[in-house]
Each structure stands twice: as C-alpha cells, then as structure tokens.
Copies of this chain bind each other. A is one copy, B any other.
Amino acid sequence: MKKINVGLIGFGTIGAGVARVLLENRQVISDRLGAELKLAGIADLDITSDRGVKLPEDMLLTNDVNALLGNPEIDIIIELIGGYEPARSFVSRALQSRQSVVTANKALLAKHGNELFALARENRVDLYYEASVGGGIPIIKVLREALAGNQINSVCGILNGTCNYILSRMGDEGADFTEVLKKAQELGYAEADPTFDVEGIDTAHKLAILTSLAFATPIAFDKIHVEGISGIKPADFAFAREFGYKIKLLAIAKKRGDCIETRVHPTMIPENHMLAKIDGVFNAVFVNADALGPSLYYGQGAGMMATASAVVADLVDIARNLIDKSMQRIPDLGFQRAAVIDRPYRPMSEIISQYYLRFSAHDKTSVLSRIAGILGENGISIASVIQQGRSHNGDTVAIVMQTHKAKEQDLRNALTEIDQLPVIAAATAVIRMESDL
C-alpha cells in the first residue's frame, strides 16, 4: 500500500488531536484513501510534556523543525503553532521545498494568505486550511467545491464559540457580560486574555477567508469592520426578545452589486432564523447562494478532536492529489487565479441596515418627540418603540426603538445630535438588526 508521510509542527492541544485521529483512525482512513497516511514526525519546542497520545516507536519526535521542513521523505507538513511568526516562515519554507501544507492558522491566512497561496501555486503544491474557519465544520470544502455552480449572495456565520457561549448565557440568564465571561474562563471556554475572541478579531480573521472564497477576491482583513460583544447589556437581550430577536456576534459578508460588504458586530436576528437557534459554543455558517438558496453548516468550531477532523480531511484530499499527481486541483480560493480580482468594498458608513437603539433619557416627557424629530430629519423612520414607564434606578429611563432600513451614516449623524441633547443621559446603544441574511 502506498504511503504518504506527514510531519506535524506544533504538538499542543490540536496537534495532539491530529496525532490521535491519525493513529486511532488509521484503518478507516486507509480504507477510504487506499493509501497509508503515516504520521512520520512531530516537532515542538516542548517534547517532554505528556500529551495523552501513545506515539509509535518509529516516529520521530524532535524539537528541531528542520528535521521535517524540507525533508524529502515528508510529503505534507501540518502547521499548528498558530500566530504569525515563526508560522509564516515555516509554511513558506515547506512550500518552497515542495511540501504541501495543512494549517489551522486563521490569523496567518488573514494576514499573509495571499502571499502563501502564491507560493503554493508557484511550487505546484497545496496549501489547505479547512480547520482555519469553523473548526470541524467543512465550510471551506463547501464553498470551494460543493457550491461550484452557484454565485454566492452572502455568507454569515457564528464563528467564535467563546462569544456565542457568552451571548447564549447572557440571553438565558439575564447575566452581565463580565460575570458570564468569568464563568466561561473557569469552564475553559474563554482564554485568560479573551480580547481576540470577545472583541471580534478572531471572527474577523475567519470572515476575511470566507469573503475571499465567496467572492473571488484576495484576502483583505483590513477591509472588515469589527465590533466586539463587551458593550452588550442584559437589558438589550430583554428588549431583543420583545422584538422577537436574538443577539449573536455575526460575521457578515454580502455582495451588493459589484460591492462587497464585510463586517463583524453584535447583530439582532429574528428568533426563527436558523442562526438564532445556534446556542452555546457551537459554530454555524449560513450561506445564501443563487441556485442552492439558503443552507447552513453547523458543528463544533473548536476543540482538539473536531479541529483535527478538519485537518485530517485536508490531509486525505492532498494525499489523493499526490497519488493522482493533481496538485492544485482545487484553486486556493476556489477560483482560478485570473478570476480572483480586487473588488470594491462598501465603506461602513454606506451600509443599509435596520437598527435597534436604546436611549438613556432623563425622565422627561418630551424626549421621545425630540429623538423622533432628529431621526426623521436624518431620513430615519421608526418601526416600533418600547418606552419604559418610570426609571428604576435614579433618574434615567430606557427608550428603545427598532428603525426601518437606514443608511449607517445617516444614523451616526442623528445619534451624534441626539447624544448631545441635555435630556440624554448616556451614549445611545446601537445594535444592527438583520432580517434578510
């Protein structure tokens, strides 16, 4: 039986998962592939910690990455160290040595993907990255292959399990952000420094990749508007429920004519939408395509074994390419290079959305008419209003509105004016509402 040798760089949690899958599921993998996918070596700075994996005697465990990189015996390199450097150098070196690479590193691809894909093409090897978005969910394969007959209208996802866990708990329990974050950290669902997750950066890295796959354009992380979830208050969940909505941190990429719109922010979505039904640490991606229509892909967005499932699927695909001598069979972003072109991004100020607005007003009777007046002058019409009776705490009262569709810039102009009114006690809370994903 033909043998494909795999070298793993990074023996942390995910690395240990990949080793386990390759070893424990060796039989089912070769039953599918018709060849052996052999874990030939692992490189990590720490090769003494017990990872809970029984490694084969004849396997190389080394802290010298050079034993794997450029080694002509190793067909495929798995990069699981994360971050920009030395990941970028290692991946580059592998590709230049004509080793194919599998990575789960969304940050690396969001920043250096274009350059690394070019390197893979030049060297006629593959750079696969299923595990970089949505953990075990095969969303990259779906977009690159399964939707090949479609023009994609939009891709929207819940791509960060930490945020979805926190928002689910806040919604269920009426609890405060800081409180739930602390619980999430205790349970291991959030990092000690949760900034990357809760401020939306991790989600945006993933969205940068999905956007390029959907719309045939180079990866452009810096075009994404990013807002995190730390500003959401328990009251917002209660009002969302009254409107029939849920609050999720959504990654949104839409095609609007020739323009692309990409943004990550807390979003109210109707409670009967499939994305509203995704609870806890799970991820899901909702795709709207011209032939297929709406479809959704749901699963574990993180975790050692789920992520390993995606890594191994990539290994099997690349192994088939090696066996058939069909490297670069699927173009990196799903489109032939000539079709991947820079496209205009719509500035955030130009997007059209419905808005949830929570005003903190001193308890004055005239305040609603003043707010409505300023909104109206800026071309924003109100769809519905909830006005609390009396204030419970001190002298402010919440006035909550759902607007009809409006332009972001118009809303910002109106809010700048409104927030300067003496009757307004604090900056107005704004959450975008999406009904047509």
Residues of A within 8 A of B (CB): 17, 21-22, 25, 28-29, 31-34, 130, 136-138, 141-142, 145-151, 216, 272, 274, 277, 279, 289-300, 303, 305-306, 308-313, 315-317, 320, 324-326, 329-331, 334-336, 339
Contacts and interface: CB of A to CB of B under 8 A. Distances in A.
A313 B329 CA distance: 15
A17 B372 CA distance: 48
Contacts of A306: 291-293
Q: How many protomers of this protein does the assembly include?
A: 2
Contact of A335 (B31, B141, B297, B303): B31
A141 B146 contact: yes
Nearest to A289: B309
A218 to B, nearest CB: 15
Nearest to A312: B149
A6 B137 CA distance: 32
Given A146-B141, A149-B21, A312 B324 contact: no
Given A21-B149, A147-B313, A313-B145, A31 B291 contact: no
Contacts of A296: 296-299
Contact of A309 (B22, B147, B312): B147
A105 B32 CA distance: 24
A148 B295 contact: no
Contacts of A141: 141-142, 145-146
A138 B279 CA distance: 23
A32 B148 contact: yes
A254 to B, nearest CB: 17
Contact of A149 (B34, B137, B294, B313): B313
A429 to B, nearest CB: 29
A209 to B, nearest CB: 17
B291 A312 contact: yes
Nearest to A150: B309
A125 to B, nearest CB: 15
| Interface pairs A-B: 7 shortest CB-CB | A149-B312, A138-B146, A295-B299, A31-B339, A324-B326, A291-B309, A292-B309
Contacts of A293: 136, 299-300, 303, 305-306
21 contacts: A28-B149, A28-B151, A31-B339, A32-B148, A32-B334, A32-B335, A33-B336, A136-B293, A136-B295, A141-B141, A141-B142, A290-B305, A291-B309, A292-B300, A295-B298, A295-B300, A296-B297, A296-B298, A298-B298, A320-B329, A324-B326
